[in-house]
Amino acid sequence: MISDASNEDRRIQVFAETGEFSFDPDSGLLRLSLENGDLRMQPDPSNAFEEYRISFEQFDYDFHALRIGVGPLQYLIDQLQMNELRDAIRRIESGDRVWELTYRNPLMYSTQIQRMFSIPLSPMLFALVGISLGLRGTVSSRSRGMLLALALFGGYYGLFVYVQQIARDGLLPPELAIWAPNAILLVLGVGLIFNARKLH
C-alpha cells in the first residue's frame, strides 16, 4: 500500500499486488511500476458519500530521483569544480558507468571548463570597449557610445548563449565556440581605440 497525504483534504491510497522500482540514469527518473491494484481517493469533506476508486492492471509513475534525495549527486553542472569536470570527462570517455552524473555527453563538461576561463575575462574586455568609447571627444559621440555599449552587452549575451549550445551539440569545439564572443570583443575594443586615436 502507498499513501499520499500531501493534500490533507483528499488523501490518496494505492493498493497493488506487486510493484517494483527502476532508475533511468540518463534522465534521473525513478519509475514505480505497480500491477493488479486500485487507487482510492478519500471523500471530499463536503460530500461524505463521494468516493473515487480506479482499478488497474498496470500503473507506472515517474518522478525525479532528486525529490527523495537519490540520483545525481551533482545535479547542477555549475556546481562542479574543475577537477570534477575533468574527471567526469575522463570517466565518460573511458566507458565507466557514471550513475551519479546527470549528463552522459562529455561536451557538456568540456563546455563548462571553457566557460570557467572565459567568463572572468569578459568584464575586462567590456572595460576595454568602454575606454575606447570614452576617448571620443564630443558629447554626442559619447552618447552614441553609451547606446553602442548597451547593444554590445545584449549582443554578447545572446551570442554567448548561442555558442554554448553549439559547443554542447558538437558543431564546434568548445575551445573555439566559447572563446568566440571574447575574441570579437577584443578585436572590437582594439579597433575602437585605434579609431579614437585617429580622430584626435
pLDDT tens digit string along 8-62? 666 778 888 888 877 665 555 677 888 888 887 776 666 655 667 888 888 887 7
CA–CA distance, 83 with 179 (Å, rounded to integer): 21
pTM of the model: 0.57
Looking from the CA of 134 toward its CB, the CA atoms found within 13 Å total 6
Look at residue 133 in the predicted model and tell me its pLDDT: 74
Q: What grid cell was written down for 156?
A: 554578447
Give mean pLDDT, residues 176-196.
89
